[in-house]
Amino acid sequence: MKQETFTVNSATSAMAFYRFVQTLFAEHKYLTFSWRIGEKRSLDQNALLHVWLAEYAAHLLGKDKKSVTRGELEGMKRHAKRMYYLETGFPWLVHEVVNPAKPAERKRDFTSSKTWKRGEMYLFLTWLQMKAATDGLILESRGEYAELQRKEAA
């Protein structure tokens, strides 16, 4: 079954969603919904994050960014998340991983950047840009992130 999304951000769109649900229920008699509160962040910020992480890893390793391996990129992601968490303590950066076969086996791990909200990603990108600058690397603002920076500065 194809999954649909529906953004409700006004009384008009709330009514439209209500009518949509009524129509689906009349046809299928069984529906399951999940929702997310807050603005959805675009893939553009997540794409920029991965470009920046590759550039930063290349800078630290003294190599071309195209030659950064998958393992080096993953290591850079974990390092950046760890440093940011140590500096900020934001709870959205970590979660508990539980082994269902042995529930006593638990460990804390970093959340995936694709689950972060738009504002959370903006904060992380701003921090990463400043952190890289202290290491002698200038990360160029682009796309949605650059637009958000311009809005904040206005």
What does the pLDDT look like over 55-86, one tens digit per residue? Answer: 999 999 999 999 999 999 999 999 999 999 99
pLDDT at 145: 87
- Residues in a beta bridge with 97: 107
Q: What is the mean pLDDT of residues 122-139?
A: 96
- Identify whether residues 73 and 133 lie together within a single domain: yes
SS3 40: coil
Reported residue count of the chain is: 154
Placement of tokens 């920076």 in the chain: 149
Both 81 and 146 in one domain: the answer is: yes
**Helix (H), strand (E) at residue 109:** strand 102-110
- Indicate whether 1 pLDDT > 60: no
Backbone angles phi, psi at 44, to 5 degrees: -55, -40
In terms of pTM, does the model score above 0.85? no
List, in order, residues 6 or more apart from 114 with CB less than 8 Å away.
Answer: 46
For the chain, the average pLDDT equals 90
- Mark whether 53 and 31 lie in a shared domain: no
For residue 148, give its domain range.
43-153
Predicted pLDDT at 122: 93
Q: Are 17 and 7 in contact (CB under 8 A)?
A: no
- 49 and 4 fall within a common domain: no
Instruction: Based on the fold, state whether residues 15 and 47 are members of the same structural domain.
Output: no
Do 75 and 138 sit in the same domain of this protein?
yes
Q: Which residue has the higher pLDDT, 32 or 123?
A: 123
- Return the H-helix or E-strand segment holding 152: helix 143-153
Residues 72 and 134 in one domain: yes
How many structural domains comprise the chain? 2
Q: Answer for the pair 8, 14: CB distance below 8 angstroms, yes or no.
A: yes
User: Do 67 and 104 fall within a single domain?
Assistant: yes
Same domain as 93, residue 17: no
* pLDDT tens column, 76-124: 999 999 999 999 999 999 999 999 999 999 999 999 998 999 899 999 9
Average pLDDT over residues 10-32: 89
In this structure, the answer to whether residues 55 and 129 fall within a common structural domain is yes
Look at residue 39 in the predicted model and tell me its pLDDT.
64
Q: Are residues 49 and 31 in the same domain?
A: no
Do 30 and 101 have their domain in common? Answer: no
